[in-house]
Amino acid sequence: MKISVNGRRIQKSTGTEDRQAAQEYHDRLKTELWEQVRLGVKPGYLWQDAVLRWLKETEHKASRDHDIKHLRFLDKHLNGVYLHDINRDMVDSLIQSKLATKVCNTTVNRMLQLVRAILRRASIEWEWLDKVPKIRLLKEPDHRIRWITREEADRLVLELPEHLKAIVEFSLQTGLRRSNATGLQWSQVDLVRRIAWIHADQAKSRKAIPVPLSKTAVIIIREQIGKHHSYVFSYKGKPIIQVNTKAWRLALKRAGIENFRWHDLRHTWASWHVQNGTPLHALQSLGGWHSAEMVQRYAHLSGEHLAGYVDKLFELRSVDVEQNSYDSATLNN
């Protein structure tokens, strides 16, 4: 098929052998090209066009794997849909379809945030869209930070096999995320200076993170020397990749610990720090969080900084009581 509009010549396949369908496709494409040239109408881009460009531009994202899972679901509903046809009704339909898979509101919101991010970039940066539909997120329940006591942690460690015992104890000492602990290499560790570091491309915040090592953490690492030439933590000569295993779940059960995920080791580490008096700004640096809001989740676990104000209140009350007693005695005399 050949088309010529305002001196612009285009040759492409109609994708069909049906003469009538091919003619309809030809006429529609010619009309669209005329609108683009004469009226300044933006060309129509499909959802999959935006997805391909998004994936190309976000190869560095730490949550890329999660994005791809959501995009696979979205492809079933938005494949072949033009970006300008995605409206509030279509978004509501996506929400209901996702909820029908028995997921929670939080999972639905992560999908909606991805859709919104792609559409906004298509509008603001790529100039593919004139406007973006408003996408409202579902209400999410407030979750309590899950952490365990030192006694519970000791019980858990005793129930774990040796290879998981080491990496769990190390996680409780450093607060590293699962991928950073399992992916830690010898080239990232300096036992003399007692420090490890997470490279920027390994960190969720995309900023390098220095990891000070406690004496216990150093001992744990030293015990791993010679087990693998590249990775610190290994099992039977191979790097540890999976940690949410049957051995992990059975250890939790034997230790009597319920509703506890691997990531809760990080919450536990942060909670212990706050309870021990570590300032929130220091905890933010230690944990590699990019915003103070993330650290505020643990603020309620420590009230030492408020104790002085409580004491002052009672000191003032004592003064008032003494003054009132003095005034009463004076009047009676």
Show the CA angle centred on residue 64, arms to residues 61 and 68, nearest 5°: 155
Catalytic residue flag (residue 186):
no
Tokens for 170? 């190390």
Catalytic residue flag (residue 298):
yes
Distance CA 162, CA 157 (A): 9
Say which of 98, 121, 228, 266 is annotated catalytic: 266
Distance CA 287, CA 279 (A): 12
Say which of 263, 281, 312, 317 is annotated catalytic: 263
Say which of 165, 204, 227, 297 is annotated catalytic: 204
Say which of 47, 248, 269, 289 is annotated catalytic: 289
Say which of 70, 177, 178, 267 is annotated catalytic: 177
Instruction: Assign 3-class secondary structure to the chain.
Output: CEEEECCEEEECCCCCCCHHHHHHHHHHHHHHHHHHHHCCCCCCCEHHHHHHHHHHHCCCCCCHHHHHHHHHHHHHHHCCCEHHHCCHHHHHHHHHHHHCCCCCHHHHHHHHHHHHHHHHHHHHCCCCCCCCCCCCCCCCCCCCCCCCCHHHHHHHHHHCCHHHHHHHHHHHHHCCCHHHHHCCEHHHEECCCCEEEECHHHCCCCCCEEEECCHHHHHHHHCCCCCCCCECCEECCEECCCCCCHHHHHHHHHCCCCCCCCCHHHHHHHHHHHHCCCCHHHHHHHHCCCCHHHHHHHHHHCCHHHHHHHHHHHHHHHHHHHHHHHHHHHHHC
Q: What is the CA radius of gyration of the chain?
A: 30
Catalytic residue flag (residue 204):
yes
Distance CA 26, CA 13 (A): 10
Catalytic residue flag (residue 165):
no
**Residues that are catalytic:** 177, 204, 263, 266, 289, 298
